Structure 1
Amino acid sequence: MTSTPQPARDVVELCRDLIRIDTSNYGAGNAKGEREAAELVAAQLAEVGIQAQLFESENRRTSLVAHWEPDGCDTGLPPLLIHGHTDVVPAVAADWQVDPFAAEVIDGYLWGRGAVDMKDFDAIVLSVVRDRVRTGRPPRRPIRLVFTADEEAGGPLGSGWLAEHHPDLLADCPEAIGEVGGFSLTVNDRRLYLVQVAEKGLAWLNLIADGQAGHGSFRNDDNAITALARAVTNIGSYQWPVRIHPALRQFLDAVEDALGVPVNADNAEETLARLGSISRMVGATLSSTANPTMLGGGYKLNVIPGQATAGIDGRFLPGYEDEFYQTISRLIGDRVHYQKAVADIAVETEFSGDLVTAMQDVLAAEDPGSVAVPFVMSAGTDAKAWSRLGIRCFGFAPLQLPPELDFIALFHGVDERVPIASLEFGCRALDRFLDRA
């Protein structure tokens, strides 16, 4: 005899437990807490009879993989990959109103680093899976659960390492859901649920200018700093051409319908500005981007250095990787060269198929009158690693959000927090989704 389903009953405490483990990822292989977080997830799964494997790319850089194929699921269907990451970006406690790792509940919100990115979805997945095991409700198809380390540093010690060293674990998964998507955006009292179907490629570059070192009082026509400054200025002031990706066009069409105003490439920025902070993220997908972020060179005021360096955060749209690098080469000129510090592919799939239909059906059932729309992500996720295995990746971590919440600003932001009601909605939506996916 099964008990009454309560998929949201544990989600708040599970999320609090995860937030209280400081899994700050400082980059360059420097992180903490990922082993403890993976062990917590493994223990929660083991409590309901699901055994997980822990994998370490380096000491304590731990990712988890679990196969959930209970009696009653259709093993003739290919598995669905559901993935999240346990690491978070660092938080400076002095900047916050609360301790970022205390996981306080205040006025209907759960506060803490990772509440939005992405321990909320980790907890939703754990809560739903545990409840379905307890109540004897198998998913429609087999599920692969993956919780990775190192996503906040691009994933070379997490998803990238798993995809390279253990591709067999996920080789039979044609599709996946994870971050960033499934959250609501209210436009003229209509809720649009944004499902990520594409994300920009990553090009973190080191610019290097070499020149003639010498005394600061001498004339110098081969000054590395001068050459570098020119290159940085060219990149920082360059206006990249607008390229409307098909998913962005569908998103703009939905916004056009909700606002009742036409949206085209010429006025897209102006229209998006009416959507609040999300306009920054969506606006960044109108074109490739390259932003200077670091400068280095010299060691004394009266010495011209022989070398100067700069850092560039570059992101290119799907299909425009070659154009991006050709443009960078032209902008920096012959005196400067670049090295790729971190580089990764752009990802895209179509907003179509049975899995998309399941998302649309679930959102329509949980929030009648809402519309699911695709969008392009300006940043990157673990989808890059999974797509290399031929997996179609969607950002679908459903959250119904209050219209006044500046949700996008909370990603990596100060005072990160998620509404308790949104966590509960996510549990209901994911629970329903597992019956249809």
Structure 2
Amino acid sequence: MTDAATTRPGTRRPDAEVVDLCAELIRIDTTNFGPGVDGPGERAGAEYVAAKLDEVGIDCTLYESEPRRTTLVADFAPEGTEPGAEPLLIHGHLDVVPADAADWTVDPFAGELRDGMVWGRGAVDMKDFDAMVLSVVRDRVRTGRAPRRPLRLIFTADEEAGGVLGADWLVRNHPETVEGCTHAIGEVGGFSLTVRDDLRLYLVQTAEKGMAWLKLIADGTAGHGSMRNDDNAVTELAAAVARIGSHRWPHRITDAQRAFLDAIADAWQVELDPDDVETTLARLGSIARMVGATMSNTANPTMLQAGYKVNVIPGRATAGLDGRIVPGGDEEFFATLSELLGDKVRYEIDVHSSGIETEFAGGLADAMQASLAAEDPHARAVPFLMSGGTDAKAWHRMGVRCFGFAPLRLPPELDFVGMFHGVDERVPTDSLEFGARVLDRFLDLA
């Protein structure tokens, strides 16, 4: 591999150091354990990024919502950008979800290179894209190549816990950091879905579901475990949780989902039955799990807590609920939830953000297709609705149109969706290099 520091001026190698950068970022533990639980924070990761940008003369500003919960902002506006062009926001988060080393084949924070892949927590979510951005920008500085328009680079804290201490905090306390930006790219999108040898769909996120992390609460009458009790908080909560868990939400097809389903129907030359879409989606392989979850609202009970001794009936029982809401579906979600909870269980909102959606059209969409096709002549960019959430919701509140575009050409057999928050998370090295080359081309066109 060519050392980017020794690359001759003018020699274009945007992929030269992306693999090493990704591995080094993984080796920095930025685990986010969630609200109220102390962890290493993102400070070390932000300082690493700042050092890499400083090496090529790009100044950064670090913002901390709390000690070690660090977000980095930098501007890349070299001479040669189009006069008067609005800055393009490119964002990636620095935090990762926890990983239990005992479950992994490798040390999840070793950034190990094995079998043509970089292994470790964050390899696909999302230190791979962080590394692409760094590799491309550093190469452009060294080779004197300006992007078409200025870039606003933001590496955030706390995305894995809803962005309360990261993107959300930044736009509330420092809205000037997003000033002038009307378009953004970040996770999750731009990855390939192989239809056949001469056709790969690259899924660009143009919409994402909203999020409702709720605490369900049942209050009852405390008492001795040997006595009859018709006001048992555990019983009421358990019944409500069972109703929610077994509820089948009706299909709600958004514009982004319809565009994706139409692309799938065209690619596989099938007609979609609106009442049996899942049968066709099954042909997509592992990604069908993600797509299937975007067909409707969802609500999954994830945590239960009650009592402190087996012979004591507690006066309160609580549960955690992860709700995901299609764009425009908030009213239906909360109305249905209230019906399922019944009269004796209530909820408190820990985190709530509505879904967002934008049209897959315009200059950025054209630039995505062109940059993908230049590296993969069998590429076709298609929009999709993502089941999870990203920092895009924070930028959306500032009037920014957001796209998930972290390009990766993937082996057809790789369970890419299973890598997100999964065990043995890994990304192929040639996929990283492909992504850096696509991103580099994109910045000439966007």
TM over 0.5: yes
Match of 2:224 among 206, 209, 215: 215
Q: Any idea what the Cα deviations from partners look like across 1:293-342, whole Å, max 9, x if unmatched?
A: 11111222222221111111111110010110011011101111100112
Aligned partner of 2:335 in structure 1 is: 326
- Equivalent residues in 2 for 1:388-399, closer than 5 Å: 388-399=397-408
CA contact (8 A) 1:188 1:258 kept: no
- Equivalent residues in 2 for 1:217-296, closer than 5 Å: 217-296=226-305
What TM-score does the superposition give when structure 1 sets the normalisation length? 0.98
- Give the letter for the 2:88 counterpart: L
**Alignment partners' CA distance in 2, 1:229 and 1:26:** 26
Q: How far off is 1:222 after superposition?
A: 1.5
SS of equivalent residue, structure 1 residue 57: strand
SS of equivalent residue, structure 1 residue 373: strand
Aligned partner of 1:4 in structure 2 is: 11
Aligned partner of 1:25 in structure 2 is: 32
SS of equivalent residue, structure 1 residue 310: strand
Match of 1:61 among 57, 60, 69: 69
CA contact (8 A) 1:11 1:123 kept: yes
**Alignment partners' CA distance in 2, 1:91 and 1:217:** 41
CA contact (8 A) 1:82 1:146 kept: yes
**Alignment partners' CA distance in 2, 1:75 and 1:57:** 34
Aligned partner of 1:168 in structure 2 is: 176
**Alignment partners' CA distance in 2, 1:169 and 1:219:** 60
- Give the letter for the 1:165 counterpart: N
- Give the letter for the 1:122 counterpart: D
Q: Any idea what the Cα deviations from partners look like across 1:178-212, whole Å, max 9, x if unmatched?
A: 00000001123321000001111111111111111
CA contact (8 A) 2:41 2:70 kept: no
Pair 1:180 & 2:188 matched:
yes
CA contact (8 A) 1:291 1:313 kept: yes
Q: Any idea what the Cα deviations from partners look like across 1:238-265, whole Å, max 9, x if unmatched?
A: 1101011111111111111222221132
Aligned partner of 2:4 in structure 1 is: none
**Alignment partners' CA distance in 1, 2:411 and 2:129:** 17
Q: Which is worse superposed, 403-412 or 24-33? A: 24-33
**Alignment partners' CA distance in 2, 1:52 and 1:132:** 17
CA contact (8 A) 1:244 1:265 kept: no
**Alignment partners' CA distance in 2, 1:67 and 1:284:** 37
Match of 1:345 among 351, 354, 379: 354
Q: Any idea what the Cα deviations from partners look like across 1:386-437, whole Å, max 9, x if unmatched?
A: 1111100000000111111111100111111111100110111000000000
Unaligned runs of 5+ in 1: none
Q: How far off is 1:51 after superposition?
A: 0.4
**Alignment partners' CA distance in 1, 2:289 and 2:368:** 25
- Give the letter for the 1:242 counterpart: H
Q: Which is worse superposed, 30-39 or 110-119? A: 30-39
What TM-score does the superposition give when structure 2 sets the normalisation length? 0.96
- Equivalent residues in 2 for 1:98-113, closer than 5 Å: 98-113=106-121
- Give the letter for the 1:271 counterpart: T
CA contact (8 A) 2:307 2:314 kept: yes
Divergent runs of 4+, >6 A: none
- Give the letter for the 1:23 counterpart: T
Q: How far off is 1:90 after superposition?
A: 1.1
Pair 1:47 & 2:47 matched:
no
**Alignment partners' CA distance in 2, 1:95 and 1:214:** 41
- Equivalent residues in 2 for 1:368-383, closer than 5 Å: 368-383=377-392
Q: How far off is 1:288 after superposition?
A: 0.2
Q: How far off is 1:107 after superposition?
A: 1.7
Q: How far off is 1:28 after superposition?
A: 1.1
Pair 1:78 & 2:58 matched:
no
Aligned partner of 1:315 in structure 2 is: 324
Q: Any idea what the Cα deviations from partners look like across 1:104-130, whole Å, max 9, x if unmatched?
A: 111211111111111110000000000
SS of equivalent residue, structure 2 residue 66: coil
**Alignment partners' CA distance in 2, 1:218 and 1:61:** 49
Q: How far off is 1:33 after superposition?
A: 4.6
**Alignment partners' CA distance in 1, 2:387 and 2:130:** 22
**Alignment partners' CA distance in 2, 1:187 and 1:159:** 36
SS of equivalent residue, structure 1 residue 97: coil
Q: How far off is 1:268 after superposition?
A: 1.1
CA contact (8 A) 1:75 1:142 kept: no
Q: Any idea what the Cα deviations from partners look like across 1:251-294, whole Å, max 9, x if unmatched?
A: 11111122222113212111111211111111000000001111
**Alignment partners' CA distance in 2, 1:308 and 1:425:** 50
Match of 1:34 among 26, 29, 42: 42
**Alignment partners' CA distance in 1, 2:39 and 2:186:** 22
Q: Kindly report the root-mean-square deviation, in angstroms, between the aligned alpha carbons of the 2 structures.
A: 1.2
Unaligned runs of 5+ in 2: 1-7
Aligned partner of 2:3 in structure 1 is: none
